[in-house]
């Protein structure tokens, strides 16, 4: 079988249309087109509304394939990261034309788990993304309202999950257990791609990480590197890679900050949810920058506290909180100083979807997970 990643990248360049904001209306339009493409390709495809958001927008689920390797995908939990939903939709569109891969894999995909937030963020979405519109209009849910950390707990919890999370959990549970789960995210600003891997698989994925590094290099997007020493669950594996965050570590972080109220709001992530279904799933999170920091100097391996990102972030935070006529000019100067440039959404899609497919290749070829 030809490399799924290579096949996707080639096909994506030939097939992709104009990228549109991943709002509820656009997703529904894409799913109609997907159903038509599946019919033409004689592909068994199931799409359904699995629930609704707080504001009544549809939460969609897609099932593609009939193979023994089970893959789950969630995207859009952080609605200010549109690359994830675009990659999920691109993967679904590509899979309907891949009968050989479908015979080896079964996919359950939720292309956007936070459609309410997508409506708010659509104001700044453009290809390529524009810095001024992003800074002016970007919206993100507060900690504790985060859709990534609101899935039902395996035991009783005083907090009720968001209805979006209940719907997605029920949909994913029907296809469990899984061999692979990927939660598709992005970062507003970073030095390059940052790929998160579940701690249980950190020591088993050396070959996969090598393939991912080569993948990011081929797209010329660099890698992000930061040492967080376990803070919120992030433990550095090597340059460009970290373990995935956990709800327990998130709660511990806010407890140390003396914020008991916020700590009590954290429920399991999609990664922890899929792990609770049993089996031995490889869980991953993509973190691909919307705006890449090119300048500011080199940084060592392992990184210290003086990397370009670590210098850039507090200055950005301070300027964004500053009102006044000079704030816009100061932001422009900061972006110029650190040579901050947009990463086209088409590149983000290739980075995210290609990374997921590399993990599928890794499991099929090296671990016999579906045997």
Could you please report the per-residue DSSP string of 2-51? --HHHHHHHHHHHH--------HHHHHHHHHHHHHHHHHTT--EEEEEEE
pLDDT at 369: 46
Question: Number of structural domains, the chain?
Answer: 2
For range 253-257, the mean pLDDT: 91
Of the ranges 161-165, 295-299, 326-330, the best mean pLDDT one: 161-165
For range 305-331, the mean pLDDT: 82
For range 214-232, the mean pLDDT: 92
Tokens at 342, concatenated: 């947009």
Confidence of residue 2 (pLDDT cuts 50, 70, 90): confident
Instruction: Give per-residue pLDDT as tens, 78-111.
Output: 999 999 999 999 999 999 999 999 999 999 999 9
For range 301-305, the mean pLDDT: 83
Considering the domain architecture, whether residues 9 and 126 belong to the same structural domain is answered as: yes
Considering the domain architecture, whether residues 200 and 328 belong to the same structural domain is answered as: no
Neighbouring C-beta atoms of residue 6, cutoff 10 Å: 12
Considering the domain architecture, whether residues 283 and 188 belong to the same structural domain is answered as: yes
Q: How far is CA 104 from the centre of its chain?
A: 24
Tokens at 107, concatenated: 């996919």
Instruction: For residue 307, give its domain range.
Output: 303-338
pLDDT at 371: 41
235 pLDDT higher than 60: yes
pLDDT at 58: 97
Considering the domain architecture, whether residues 213 and 323 belong to the same structural domain is answered as: no
The pTM assigned to this predicted structure is 0.95
pLDDT at 324: 56
Task: Read off the CATH number of the domain in which 44 is found.
Answer: 3.40.630.10
Confidence of residue 297 (pLDDT cuts 50, 70, 90): low
Confidence of residue 121 (pLDDT cuts 50, 70, 90): very high
Between the two ends of the chain, the Cα-to-Cα distance in Å is 17
pLDDT at 136: 87
pLDDT at 319: 86
pLDDT at 328: 78
Considering the domain architecture, whether residues 238 and 314 belong to the same structural domain is answered as: no
Phi and psi of 275, rounded to 5°?
A: -65, -35
- Nearest-angstrom CA–CA distance, 350 and 8: 8
Phi and psi of 3, rounded to 5°?
A: -50, 120
Confidence of residue 231 (pLDDT cuts 50, 70, 90): confident
Considering the domain architecture, whether residues 331 and 248 belong to the same structural domain is answered as: no
Confidence of residue 302 (pLDDT cuts 50, 70, 90): confident
Phi and psi of 137, rounded to 5°?
A: -120, -5
For range 151-157, the mean pLDDT: 83
Residue appearing with tokens 């099932």: 63
Considering the domain architecture, whether residues 11 and 91 belong to the same structural domain is answered as: yes
Considering the domain architecture, whether residues 33 and 88 belong to the same structural domain is answered as: yes
pLDDT at 17: 66
For range 17-29, the mean pLDDT: 87
Confidence of residue 283 (pLDDT cuts 50, 70, 90): very high
Considering the domain architecture, whether residues 28 and 54 belong to the same structural domain is answered as: yes
Considering the domain architecture, whether residues 37 and 138 belong to the same structural domain is answered as: yes
Considering the domain architecture, whether residues 125 and 215 belong to the same structural domain is answered as: yes
Considering the domain architecture, whether residues 54 and 170 belong to the same structural domain is answered as: yes
Selected residue with higher pLDDT from 321 and 268: 268
What is the residue-averaged pLDDT of the chain? 92
For range 191-201, the mean pLDDT: 97
């Amino acid at each position: 079988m030809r490399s799924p990643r290579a096949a996707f990248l080639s096909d994506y360049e030939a097939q992709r249309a104009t990228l549109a904001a991943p709002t509820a209306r656009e997703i529904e339009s894409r799913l109609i087109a997907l159903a038509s493409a599946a019919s033409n390709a004689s592909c068994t495809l199931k799409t359904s509304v699995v629930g609704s958001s707080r504001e009544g927008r549809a939460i969609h689920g897609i099932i593609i394939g009939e193979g023994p390797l089970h893959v789950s995908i969630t995207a859009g939990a952080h609605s200010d990261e549109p690359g994830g939903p675009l990659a999920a939709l691109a993967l679904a569109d590509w899979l309907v034309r891949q009968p050989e891969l479908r015979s080896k894999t079964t996919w359950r995909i939720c292309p956007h788990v936070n459609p309410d937030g997508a409506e708010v963020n659509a104001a700044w979405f453009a290809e390529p993304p524009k810095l001024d519109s992003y800074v002016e209009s970007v919206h993100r849910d507060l900690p504790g309202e985060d859709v990534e950390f609101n899935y039902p707990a395996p035991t009783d919890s005083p907090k009720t999950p968001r209805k979006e999370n209940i719907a997605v959990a029920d949909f994913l549970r029907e296809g469990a257990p899984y061999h692979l789960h990927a939660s598709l995210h992005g970062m507003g600003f970073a030095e390059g791609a940052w790929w998160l891997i579940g701690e249980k698989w950190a020591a088993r994925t050396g070959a996969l990480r090598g393939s991912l590094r080569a993948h990011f290099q081929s797209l010329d997007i660099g890698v992000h590197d930061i040492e967080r020493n376990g803070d919120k669950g992030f433990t550095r594996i090597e340059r460009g890679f970290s373990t995935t965050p956990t709800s327990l570590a998130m709660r511990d972080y806010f407890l140390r900050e003396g914020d008991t109220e916020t700590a009590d709001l954290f429920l399991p992530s999609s990664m922890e949810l899929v792990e609770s279904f049993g089996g031995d799933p490889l869980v991953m999170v993509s973190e691909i920058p919307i705006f890449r920091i090119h300048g500011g100097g080199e940084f060592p391996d392992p990184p210290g506290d003086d990397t370009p990102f670590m210098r850039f972030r507090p200055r950005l935070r301070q300027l964004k909180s500053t009102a006044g006529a000079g704030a816009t000019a100061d932001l422009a100067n900061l972006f110029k100083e650190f040579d901050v440039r947009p990463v086209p959404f088409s590149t983000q899609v290739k980075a995210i979807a290609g990374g997921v497919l590399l993990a599928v290749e890794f499991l099929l070829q090296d671990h016999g997970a579906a045997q």
